[in-house]
Structure 1
Amino acid sequence: MSTDAVRTHTADGVNRRIDERVEGCVRHMAEQDRAAISDYLNKLEREWDLNRVVSVAASTVTVLGLVLGAKDGRGWRVVSGVAAGLLLQHGLLGFGPLAGLVRMLGVRTRKEIDLEKFALKALRGDFERIPHDGGPLARANAALVAAQS
């Protein structure tokens, strides 16, 4: 899997757990029919990626802090400032403390979600490079290789 800022700054165990989840899912789906794969692909289309989760969480805390700060004082405005700063850091650097917390919860990057989607599309037969002979494991491995290239 290619590296990016989030994966580089995420603990190896967390990355490994996320990768194993993707591989396990693709192997499981290799034993399913086209309709089941299509249903799961629709679910993946709705999955929130790390950037969306971080943006919504930090923005929510920022707005909440501003609203509560207007009522109860300065402390809440500091919370808003910190949340906005963390969001800015994530936007500029592509990672930050919020991303680390969200990764530990198993939230994936867009690249990781797309890898699973492309592997499943290959299994479904959307690409010609996947052999149809061999067992489900061989097909799952070929789909993962095709999605990564």
Structure 2
Amino acid sequence: MESWNQTSTDAMRSHVPAEVNKRIDERVERCVRHMAQQDRAEISRYLVKLEREWDINRAVTVVGSLVAVGGLALARRDGKGWRVLGGVAAGLLLQHGLLGFGPLSRLVRVLGGVRSRREIDLEKFALKALRGDFERIPKNDGGPLARANAALVAAQS
């Protein structure tokens, strides 16, 4: 199953190596397949966990802000040269805010596997479909794998 995640409008996916996106997609597929064998209560518990998951925007904002504040704190203590670190971090945050991606966001995604909000939402919708929140997913026809595949496709549409 290679083509369920067609998020071509997701700026982050188009600016990182394909293998990173593939690794994230495979993690989602494994999760949805596993959840297809679980009961509604277990799916609901996992959905609560997904609601708390940080997306790439939040992670980049926190990391960039920490670097900027750290640069300013070091500049105050050890000299003005550290201000450059704060300025670079602010520039990277600005780039991410304007373009939806940048070197800092790429680094966070590649090293941490942090997903975009759209990717997290796709997994949530697939799990909600498995749970029975939507009418398009068969209840027991075809087994867990068929239900998981149908849920992933339904989440995309």
TM bracket (short chain)? over 0.9
CA distance in 2, matches of 1:103, 1:56: 14
User: 1:72-83 alignment to 2 at 5 Å?
Assistant: 72-83=78-89
CA distance in 2, matches of 1:15, 1:2: 10
Return the alpha-carbon distance in structure 2 between the equivalents of residues 56 and 22 of structure 1. Answer: 24
Counterpart of 2:142?
Answer: 134
Matched position secondary structure for 1:56: helix
The count of corresponding residues between Structure 1 and Structure 2 is 149
Cα offset, 1:5, TM superposition: 1.1
SS at match of 1:26: helix
Q: Report matched runs for 1:62-101 at 5 Å.
A: 62-101=68-107
Task: Provide the aligned C-alpha RMSD in A.
Answer: 0.8
Residue-by-residue CA offset, 1:24-48 (whole Å, 9 max, x unaligned): 1000100001111001000000000
Instruction: Describe the superposition over 1:65-117 as per-residue Cα deviations: whole angstroms up to 9, x where unpaired.
Output: 11221121112111000000111111111100111111112110000000000
Identity of matched residues, %: 75
Counting only pairs closer than 5 Å after superposition, residues 1-149 of structure 1 correspond to structure 2 as 1-3=6-8, 4-104=10-110, 105-132=112-139, 133-149=141-157
C-alpha separation between the residues in 1 aligned to 2:68 and 2:129? Answer: 41
Distance in 2 separating the partners of 1:95 and 1:2? 15
Give the Cα separation in 2 of the matches to 1:64 and 1:103.
Answer: 22
Q: Deviations over 1:2-38 (max 9, x none)?
A: 2121100010000000001001100010000111100
Distance 1:102 1:21 in 2: 17
Tell me by how many angstroms 1:134 deviates: 1.9
Alpha-carbon distance in 2 for matches of 1:103, 1:63: 22
* Unpaired stretches in structure 1, ≥5 consecutive residues: none
- TM-score, reference length from structure 1: 0.97
Query: How far has the Cα of 1:63 moved from its partner?
Result: 1.1
CA distance in 1, matches of 2:105, 2:64: 11
Q: TM-score, normalised by structure 2?
A: 0.93
